[in-house]
Amino acid sequence: MPQFDLAPPTDAQRQQLTAGLSPDERRVLLEHGTEAAFCGVFLDNKRNGAYTCRFCGLPLFRSSAKFDSGTGWPSFFQPIDQAYVRRVRDESYGMVRVEDVCARCGSHLGHVFPDGPPPTGERHCLNSVSLDFTGDGEPLPDKLGRGAPEGQPLG
């Protein structure tokens, strides 16, 4: 599996990428918001491929790790690489949860819960607006202009 550069975007890259976001994408990715249940574009996506960070393009989850959790958000039992998704303690809204953020850019993805299927027992419950999708055999996004292995199909 290719190893991806986890260095954060430069300030200039961050400004350029932020300018291309819709208000809803900005609210979820940058302000740690949540989209409404059962309305995300990737909830019922059945294509084979990789889900990438909407902000920086880092590959995060494979379609083979996606499952129907019945919660109304796309759910995955494991990331492509544990190093690509950082976990952060979230004490908002009077509860304690574990937030998933992109390890490269820090964008909010969703939350992880300990009630998923084997083999991990985890449910990474993500916002569709936090993700992009790249089908098998298609080049991955290279939003930061760093070249290979981004821009190449994920093995």
What type of residue is 17?
Answer: L
Q: What is the pLDDT along the chain (155 residues), one digit of tens a residue?
A: 458 899 999 999 999 999 999 999 999 999 999 999 999 999 999 999 999 999 999 999 999 999 999 999 999 999 999 999 999 998 887 888 899 999 999 999 999 999 999 999 999 999 999 999 999 989 888 999 887 554 555 65
CA dihedral 149, 104, 22, 69 (to 10 degrees): 90
| Pairwise CA distance, residues 3 & 47, whole Å | 24
Residue 148: the pLDDT is 58
Joined tokens for residue 54: 């909407």
What type of residue is 106?
Answer: G
Give yes or no: 53 in active site: no
Q: What is the architecture of the domain spanning 11-135?
A: Beta Complex (2.170)
| Pairwise CA distance, residues 140 & 74, whole Å | 20
Catalytic residue among 56, 102, 105, 125: 125
| Pairwise CA distance, residues 52 & 104, whole Å | 12
